[in-house]
Structure 1
Amino acid sequence: MKISGNDIRPGNVIEYDGTLWVAVKTNKVKPGKGPAYNQVELKNLIDGRKLNNRFGSDEKVERARIETKDFQFLYKDGDVLVFMDSESYEQINLAEEFVGERAAFLQDGMTVTLEMHEEKPIGIALPDQVVLAITETEPTIKGQTAASSYKPAMLENGVRVMVPPFITAGERIVVDTNEIAYIKRAE
């Protein structure tokens, strides 16, 4: 679907310069001299490059159709992560680097959302929060103030997070997978 350059909004995925870009910021500009334009900050969905571009109202760009599908994480095989389509039960293999450092939060049976363009995965969304056990942390020192003193803790998946001093080894906590940070004790 073709749209005018002035109609590009943040969050739109467009095909530009032979690849896929997502609009991060837009700013409509009407200079005193010359035609109005839309100043758009784009981020490449494939390699993460950023680009600033001006689109005039007479320019047409192709708005990409992005499908989202739920997949279930099955297992890790070396550097490959294996997922299964929740509807068709077809399996798909993705490189661990496609998921990035958040791959450590994948758990057996976890449902993730894959963004697909022409049946090709271009992005992945993990659940915002996961519950994990703490395998080791420093003991609490009496007299420490609880206000701002956090201590390092190792999670069962090998990731380090900072936790409040009252958290001990063996406890289960809720972790934000985007910020990789402690949220609260698990219920």
Structure 2
Amino acid sequence: MPKINGNEIRPGNVLEHNDGLWAAVKVDHVKPGKGGAFAQVEMKNLRNGSKLNERFRSADKVERVRLEQKDMQFLYEDDGMLIFMDTETYDQVQVASDLLGDRRPFLQDGMTIVVEFYESEALNASVPQKVTCKIVETEPVVKGQTAANSFKPAILDNGVKVMVPPFVGQDEMIIVDTIAMEYSERA
């Protein structure tokens, strides 16, 4: 694995530090009035979710880890574990459902998502940025109401609440941005 200097750490990098795998969440480069410059790095443990703030000087060497990304197809959920199938080898992999966090409701049967592996251990998973959902409950469409930045609440078929424009009605299909957790467009 390549070693990088402490001042080369960027958000999103995965580092091996203190016998654990850490993702750099936030990096601030600090030049104090006295002493040498350093990078203040906020890190999140990829295995247990704990957080750590650490200072790295430019002379410090840290090991950068490359995660292997695979496209996996979601099959089913069993006892808090999500079962995925590798689309190339047809191997099945179990991943804890809390790995997806608040994006979990957007996971649909047969959906292909990206799972990141370190050796054979699944560390991270992400649903697609745009997902099509059906509105199951919202206020009725009112004629003559303008779409000038006014939104109304809607409940999707997966139970998630989002704000939608007034012209969108019940039983319509919409595309939801899973990163911002908001309405994107009509499907």
Query: Are the equivalent residues in 1 in contact too, given 2:39–2:56 (CA < 8 A)?
Result: yes
Query: Which residue number in structure 2 is paired with residue 93 of structure 1?
Result: 94
SS in 2 for 1:103: helix
Query: Which residue number in structure 1 is paired with residue 18 of structure 2?
Result: 17
Query: Which residue number in structure 2 is paired with residue 39 of structure 1?
Result: 40
Query: Which residue number in structure 2 is paired with residue 67 of structure 1?
Result: 68
Where structure 2 has 5 or more consecutive residues not aligned to the other structure, the ranges are: none
Q: Which runs of 4+ in 1 moved over 6 A?
A: none
SS in 2 for 1:168: coil
Q: Show CA shifts across 1:63-91 (max 9, x none).
A: 12211111011122342221001111100
Most deviating of 86-95 and 5-14: 5-14
Query: Are the equivalent residues in 1 in contact too, given 2:142–2:167 (CA < 8 A)?
Result: no
Give 1:3 shift. Answer: 2.2
Give 1:102 shift. Answer: 1.5
Query: C-alpha separation between the residues in 2 aligned to 1:97 and 1:25?
Result: 22
Query: C-alpha separation between the residues in 1 aligned to 2:7 and 2:164?
Result: 46
Give 1:30 shift. Answer: 4.2
Return closer, same or farther for 1:26/1:132 CA change in 2, 3 Å cut-off: closer
Give 1:147 shift. Answer: 1.5
Query: C-alpha separation between the residues in 2 aligned to 1:165 and 1:32?
Result: 54
Query: C-alpha separation between the residues in 2 aligned to 1:32 and 1:170?
Result: 61
Query: Which residue number in structure 2 is paired with residue 49 of structure 1?
Result: 50
Query: C-alpha separation between the residues in 1 aligned to 2:103 and 2:8?
Result: 34
SS in 2 for 1:123: strand
Calculate the aligned-residue CA RMSD, in Å: 2.1
Query: Which residue number in structure 2 is paired with residue 5 of structure 1?
Result: 6
Give 1:142 shift. Answer: 4.5
Most deviating of 11-20 and 21-30: 21-30
Give me the identity figure in percent: 55
Query: Which residue number in structure 1 is paired with residue 133 of structure 2?
Result: 132
SS in 2 for 1:51: strand
Q: Show CA shifts across 1:113-149 (max 9, x none).
A: 0111121111111110111121221113445442232
Q: Show CA shifts across 1:33-75 (max 9, x none).
A: 4333333232332344333322123322121221111101112
TM-score by length of 2: 0.87
Query: C-alpha separation between the residues in 2 aligned to 1:158 and 1:31?
Result: 49
SS in 2 for 1:89: coil
Query: Which residue number in structure 2 is paired with residue 114 of structure 1?
Result: 115
Query: Which residue number in structure 1 is paired with residue 80 of structure 2?
Result: 79
Query: Which residue number in structure 2 is paired with residue 165 of structure 1?
Result: 166
Query: C-alpha separation between the residues in 2 aligned to 1:169 and 1:11?
Result: 39
SS in 2 for 1:165: coil
